[in-house]
Amino acid sequence: MRAERLLARMAPADVAVLLPELASDELRTVIELLFRQRRAARALRELPHEMLPQVFDALADQRLADVIGRLEIDDLLELVEWIPEERREFVVSKLPEHRRAELDKAELYPEDSAGRVMTTNFVALDLKMTAQEAIDALRSKADDSDEVLYLYVVDDQRALAGVVPIRRLLSAPPERCVADMMIPDPVSVGAEDDQEEVARVVRRFDLLAIPVTDVDGRMLGLITVDDVIDVITEEATEDIYHLAGLTEADRVFVTARESVMKRLPWMLLNLGTAFAAAWVVGLFERTLQQVVALAIFMPVVAGMGGNGGTQALTVITRAIALGEIEFSSGFRAAMKELSVGLTIGIIVGGIGAGISYFWQGNPILGVSLFFAMVLTLSVAGLLGAAVPLGLKALKLDPALGSGVIVTTFTDTFAFFSFLGIATLLMDRMIA
Amino acid sequence: MRAERLLARMAPADVAVLLPELASDELRTVIELLFRQRRAARALRELPHEMLPQVFDALADQRLADVIGRLEIDDLLELVEWIPEERREFVVSKLPEHRRAELDKAELYPEDSAGRVMTTNFVALDLKMTAQEAIDALRSKADDSDEVLYLYVVDDQRALAGVVPIRRLLSAPPERCVADMMIPDPVSVGAEDDQEEVARVVRRFDLLAIPVTDVDGRMLGLITVDDVIDVITEEATEDIYHLAGLTEADRVFVTARESVMKRLPWMLLNLGTAFAAAWVVGLFERTLQQVVALAIFMPVVAGMGGNGGTQALTVITRAIALGEIEFSSGFRAAMKELSVGLTIGIIVGGIGAGISYFWQGNPILGVSLFFAMVLTLSVAGLLGAAVPLGLKALKLDPALGSGVIVTTFTDTFAFFSFLGIATLLMDRMIA
């Protein structure tokens, strides 16, 4: 019984941390205890999705259905997708009839849309109700959720007409009509809208919850800010991951085998582009034979170009994600990155050229390094801005793919400009 | 008057987008209109901080003080820091006395601490109050904020004793004592706690607001979820930026000159490390002279190592930021990244070696490439995990600096292993 008391005191997120550490039978016992405390569903919700199959494995179909059946529809939908396919249908069939119906409906919304993140558990008031009637409606609602924040007012067609913050209800005279105390035309999102758009609206208007409507303006559900926080966190992870060529599911707790399978395509793609750069270097084999020292400085030009490109890419990708690009324009941003690259290229290229000249005593080397760095860093800045903006214009993910395009191009360009300039200078000196 | 109506219909965030586009006198007019609508402060709040000085410039000291004086203390504190130093004291002196006192107090909290993000505008109930008294207390509060969500209950020493969700108050019998309806011992944070920790607690417990207490448990203020969203967004930007060696203030809308100044130190540091790698290549000048084709494949080894290291680094840094590392352990994570690097190294190295052998017909080249890639990718995986974990253990930012350490080391190691193995093999063949 001590375990039971201990579990009761722990936050669901802390319980979640514990679960994957347990053996199958322990896991079953803990879930059983949590279930009796009505907290099993919350704990599962807090578990990173990639760890769910392991926990599901330890539970019988009926018990699993009992546990997830207590979740709100958006969480239920998410967890069901992580049940191994061969069991899924069977587990779902053990859910209560009305939950199955809800699930069927929610599954019709596109992936990552507002319809899939919303809860259908909200309080709707009639336009003609008084404050007292509204309070009675709220009281009569069986669900004891403490987190009702806003009451939504709908008209005869169930179209969203306004919102009454719960605090206003508390201070209003009982006979006051809700139509007179509501904030009319509240901000809302469509059920088909992307969850990223939802997060942007919630952040922009500092909302705690946002109503979701259908094409006719009828209220379908509600997205609360805790789900929005999950969306924001998820999207940030996605951006960080995409910049490094990683897929979202490649997390710290998945097996090495899974990580290898997920990273391999990207690494093979990179191998291809690396060989393209190597092919460019191969074009200048004769030049390299004459001045082997050029090989020493090749990595310097390419490395600096790569850094410059990544910086421009990161600034622009983040600006797109946060909607900050509105404060500037795409063209202005690209021109700025070009001039930043040019300036840094002149400074860093100058220093690099100086060092290499004093080290190797070869003026061709110094001059080639200088011009190659100026050109490469300018191109890196321009591309670092232009590629994500271009991908965005094509309605593609600006973070995904930008990295490989920009670095391939800067690497190839770095080698081509450095060895090309050196070849030209040498031909001149020989002629 | 049309402009006035138009402004009244726009969201503060949309107004903010507009402001930097305006000339000084237009800006003054718009702020004046907004001020009359009591919306100027909100619009300023939505502006990226880097753009504030430009807007402040257009306003007289007294008007600026009037506008920012309407902000809650956390926002006021933030905006005051962006007033140019030579005006700051003067503008602050024009704030109402009680606001100045608040400001002085808030400034005592450490940077990025809960004390600086909290608002002191909250409703505290006495333990002995009844539900009706609580409702009356709420009604009498002059401030008409719709966003009171929770009412906090304090004891005689003003120590936080519990929290009453506003919904419970609505459905309770009027004579019920708040002590009987409150949730006791609510989750809270200390005023000196870091804002990142606050965000983690709010996310973990799915809270809408969290009380801030002093060391004796007395309630000082409240942090609402919209501020937490800002913190989460800010911290994600910081992580993405630090991985690329950028500082937070280097945004899309700052001038090229500012960006150059901010990026230059990082680029100079990278130039230094690039020359360190070049120095390693220089050690093998004789080998390169004998087989110039080695120069062609140097970028392949270094590039693949860099990619592998960045991937490991990204997974681990993100896991640290989200607290997911709790689901694994640092050691386990590092071992996993090592084995992922080793496996990918064998596969990608094998393919690379095959291609280079068929292209150049030189077995030394193929064998060196294979072993160098296996070694480099293993080391990259290990370091990509170990460096951020190590920085975290030293209580340093895991994202900042990891990138430069990992890529410097992998680059240098890539060249050293590739050219070193080739040299050994050639010596053998000659011997």
Query: Which of B208, B232, B253 lies at the smallest CB-CB distance from A327?
Result: B253
Minimal CA separation from A92 to chain B, in Å: 27
Minimal CA separation from A88 to chain B, in Å: 26
pLDDT over 70 percentage in chain B: 97
The interface predicted TM-score of the complex, written ipTM, equals 0.82
Find out whether B200 and B182 touch, Cβ atoms under 8 Å: no
Give me the pLDDT at residue A326, please: 66
pLDDT digit string (tens) for B87-117? Answer: 888 888 888 888 888 888 888 898 889 999 8
> 């809302």: which residue's tokens?
A188
**What's the token pair of residue A225?**
């800010």
Minimal CA separation from B40 to chain A, in Å: 15
**Mean of the per-residue pLDDT values of chain B:** 87
Residue B196 predicted with pLDDT over 90:
no
Minimal CA separation from A90 to chain B, in Å: 29
Query: Which of B11, B229, B328 lies at the smallest CB-CB distance from A232?
Result: B229
CATH architecture of B263-430: Orthogonal Bundle (1.10)
**Where are the domain boundaries for CATH 1.10.357.20 in chain A?**
256-430
Q: Poorest-confidence range of A64-68, A119-123, A222-226, B382-386?
A: A119-123
B269: chain A residues, CB-CB within 8 Å:
none
**Where are the domain boundaries for CATH 3.10.580.10 in chain A?**
124-225
Contact B252 A324 (CB under 8 A): yes
**Where are the domain boundaries for CATH 3.10.580.10 in chain B?**
124-243
B282: chain A residues, CB-CB within 8 Å:
293, 296
Q: What is the pTM of this model?
A: 0.82
Residue A138 predicted with pLDDT over 90:
no
Residue A1 predicted with pLDDT over 60:
no
Find out whether B384 and B416 touch, Cβ atoms under 8 Å: no
B71: chain A residues, CB-CB within 8 Å:
none
Contact B278 A259 (CB under 8 A): no
Minimal CA separation from B188 to chain A, in Å: 13
Query: Which of B165, B232, B415 lies at the smallest CB-CB distance from A233?
Result: B232
CATH 1.10.357.20 is held by the domain A256-430: yes
**Where are the domain boundaries for CATH 1.25.60.10 in chain A?**
2-108
Measure the CA–CA gap between B391 and B388, rounded to whole angstroms. 5
Find out whether A43 and B236 touch, Cβ atoms under 8 Å: no
Give me the pLDDT at residue A328, please: 62
pLDDT band with cut points at 50, 70 and 90 for residue B382? very high
A48: chain B residues, CB-CB within 8 Å:
324, 327
Contact A314 B244 (CB under 8 A): yes
Nearest CA in chain B to A342: B260
Contact B274 A303 (CB under 8 A): yes
Give, in words, the CATH class of B124-243. Answer: alpha beta
Query: Which of A267, A285, A351 lies at the smallest CB-CB distance from B348?
Result: A267
Using alpha carbons only, give the angle A57, A62, A64 rounded to the nearest 5 degrees: 45
**Residue B160: count of CB within 10 angstroms of its CB:** 22
Largest alpha-carbon pair distance within chain B? Answer: 100
pLDDT digit string (tens) for B273-291? Answer: 999 999 999 999 999 998 8
- For A36, the 3-state DSSP assignment is helix
Minimal CA separation from A93 to chain B, in Å: 30
**Where are the domain boundaries for CATH 1.10.357.20 in chain B?**
263-430
Q: Which amino acid is at B146?
A: D
Give me the pLDDT at residue A416, please: 95
Handedness of CA B279, B280, B284, B289 (dihedral sign): negative
pLDDT band with cut points at 50, 70 and 90 for residue B143? low
DSSP summary character for residue B206? T
Alpha-carbon dihedral A264, A268, A273, A279, rounded to 10 degrees? 150
Interface test with A, best of B135, B271, B347, B407 (most A CBs within 10 A): B271
Give me the pLDDT at residue B405, please: 86
Contact B274 A149 (CB under 8 A): no
Give me the pLDDT at residue A376, please: 97
Query: Which of A245, A278, A295 lies at the smallest CB-CB distance from B311?
Result: A245
> 């409606």: which residue's tokens?
A137
Contact A303 B270 (CB under 8 A): yes
pLDDT digit string (tens) for B27-39? Answer: 888 888 888 877 7
A–B CB contacts, 8 A cutoff, strictly below: 327
Find out whether B365 and B354 touch, Cβ atoms under 8 Å: no
Q: What is the DSSP string of B7-57?
A: HHHS-HHHHHHHGGGS-HHHHHHHHHHHHHTT-HHHHHHHS-GGGHHHHHH
**Residue A162: count of CB within 10 angstroms of its CB:** 21
Give me the pLDDT at residue B45, please: 80
Contact B166 A167 (CB under 8 A): yes
Q: What is the DSSP string of B328-352?
A: S-HHHHHHHHHHHHHHHHHHHHHHH
- Which of A143, A157, A126 lies closest to A72 in space, CA to CA? A143
Query: Which option is the CATH number for A124-225: 3.10.580.10, 3.40.50.300, 3.40.50.11740, 3.40.50.720?
Result: 3.10.580.10
Minimal CA separation from B212 to chain A, in Å: 19
pLDDT digit string (tens) for A198-247? Answer: 988 888 888 888 999 999 889 999 998 888 888 888 888 888 898 888 88
φ, ψ (nearest 5 deg) of residue A160: -65, 120
> What spatial distance separates the first Cα and last Cα of chain A, rounded to whole Å?
93
Nearest CA in chain B to A251: B315
Using alpha carbons only, give the angle B35, B81, B96 rounded to the nearest 5 degrees: 50
CATH 3.40.50.2300 is held by the domain B2-108: no
Nearest CA in chain A to B260: A340
Contact B304 A167 (CB under 8 A): no
Interface test with B, best of A307, A358, A412 (most B CBs within 10 A): A307
Mean pLDDT across A278-295: 91
B273-296 in b/e form (b: 16+ CB < 10 A) is bbbebbebbbebeebbeebbbbbb
Minimal CA separation from B346 to chain A, in Å: 11
B402: chain A residues, CB-CB within 8 Å:
none
Contact A232 B232 (CB under 8 A): yes
Residue B328 predicted with pLDDT over 70:
no
DSSP summary character for residue B110? P
More confident residue, B137 or A411: A411
Contact A203 B348 (CB under 8 A): no
Q: B197 exposed, middle or buried (CB, 10 Å; 0-12, 13-18, 19+)?
A: middle
Query: Which of B168, B270, B314 lies at the smallest CB-CB distance from A240?
Result: B314
